[in-house]
Amino acid sequence: MKNLAKYISIGLIAGLIVTGCGSEGAGNAASTDSGIAAAESADTESSVAAEEVVAPKLDLASFKASDYVTLADYSEIAINAADIEPTEEQLQAKIDEFTTSHAPADYEAKSGDTVNIDYVGKKDDVAFDGGTASGYDLTLGSGTFIDGFEDGLIGTKAGDQVSLDLTFPEDYGAEELAGAAVVFDVTVNSIKPGEPVEYTDELVAANTDYDTTEKYNEYLKDSIRTSNKNAKTSEALMKLGEFTGEYPDGLANYYYDYYIQMYTNYYGADALKEAAAKYDSNRDYMKEYLGEGLNQQMQADLLLLAVAEKENIACEGEDYESYIDGVLGQVGTTREELFEQYGEGFVNYSYLTDRAYALLQDRVVVK
């Protein structure tokens, strides 16, 4: 079960439409993952060829959440204290995460490490298109860049500046660079080891506000407790509802249109047409594609909205206005633009679920 808090953060408004874009490094494109896999090609003509992508709008007024979920007693939500205590495995995982994110000052890069670099590629002392980047993460040995580039960074340390005399392949795609001799001026900003380095007081002191591994371990344990508590809280909250298994069109269609728009932004309208060719509509395709994952997300929504209904939380008054002001401050827009872009239904949904979740969190008791 995903964390319920994911669905009620202000950040959901700020990042409503997310698109991916490719990046290129030293002549070799890096791929990205949109989060929605490309659909298999269809052999049939699309029945939705002329169907336009609909901007996602949440019709919150068209349904009552309590028609789709029956709430249990939530006056006290008990969590077992033992369930939130960090395990040795969890602590070690955090330590490994730290020691593969930070390296000692004298650490030398090796194959499998990820270096963060700035670079400028020059041909005849002139920077060429596509050969410059800042803050680029490159895993040495990945074969992402042309021959010699990654090998030339083996043995470098954070802060090093090197010049790499290289030659593009004869069959390189860009004609002006094919077979060309070039120089890459590279600055190594930082190094992430491919394997955990030694966990020492010195490493901790150089990269955190703590001066010993013992003190940092206590911080990590507190972080794990918080994470465990959030996970157990989400599990407990989802047990508060008995769901009918049906979902209101006003909520489901919002999600279908949202993911359809994401798909179209990333892959294009032609890709959507091909993916949805065997379905009666774009929404039918997305319903099938998202499956049970979306159902769980809508259950989380319905549970929180049902609590808001029961508690008579209304989208009006001082608290509502304060919430809207907070959103505006975060996303940097006007009230009119916020409601026009996302619709009153989605803005109100965000407020209602936020306040319902906060109310339920206050009822959580660790025993």
Residue 337 in 3-state DSSP?
A: helix
- Rounded Cα distance between 97 and 352, Å, is 36
Both tokens assigned to 164? 């790499």
pLDDT bucket at 65, cuts 50 / 70 / 90: very high
Model pTM score: 0.66
Examine the pLDDT at 45 and tell me if it is beyond 50: no
Q: Would you state the torsion angle of the CA atoms of residues 18, 278, 269, 50, taken in this order, to the nearest 10 degrees?
A: -130
**Beta-bridge partner residues of 120:** 132, 185
Looking at residue 353, what is its pLDDT? 95
Where do the domains of the chain lie?
4-32+47-74+240-366, 114-192
Measured at the CA of 86, the angle between CA 81 and CA 90, to 5 degrees, comes to 145
Residues 180/167, Cβ–Cβ less than 8 Å: yes
Residues 233/364, Cβ–Cβ less than 8 Å: yes
Axis-axis angle for helices 249-267, 335-362 (nearest 10): 120
Average pLDDT over residues 44-66: 73
Looking at residue 341, what is its pLDDT? 87
Looking at residue 51, what is its pLDDT? 67
Looking at residue 39, what is its pLDDT? 31
Looking at residue 18, what is its pLDDT? 29
Write out the E strands in the chain: 23-25, 28-30, 69-71, 77-79, 114-123, 126-139, 161-167, 181-192, 241-243, 364-366
Task: Say which residue the tokens 């979920």 belong to.
Answer: 69
Query: For residue range 8-18, what is the model confidence (pLDDT) as tens digits?
Result: 333 333 233 22
Q: Please name which of 173, 169, 127 lies closest in space to residue 149, comparing C-alpha atoms.
A: 169
Class of domain 114-192: alpha beta
Mean pLDDT of the chain: 86
Query: For residue range 331-361, what is the model confidence (pLDDT) as tens digits?
Result: 888 999 999 988 999 999 999 999 999 999 9
Average pLDDT over residues 31-35: 27
Both tokens assigned to 339? 């409601």
What's the Cα-to-Cα distance from 347 to each of 290, 316, 325, 344, 351, rounded to whole Å?
24, 12, 12, 5, 7
Average pLDDT over residues 51-60: 82
**DSSP H stretches of helix in 120-212:** 201-207
Residues 307/245, Cβ–Cβ less than 8 Å: no
State residue 187 phi and psi, 5-degree precision: -110, 125
Query: For residue range 75-123, what is the model confidence (pLDDT) as tens digits?
Result: 999 999 999 999 999 999 999 999 999 999 899 999 999 999 999 999 9
Average pLDDT over residues 277-284: 93
Average pLDDT over residues 148-167: 97
pLDDT bucket at 29, cuts 50 / 70 / 90: very low
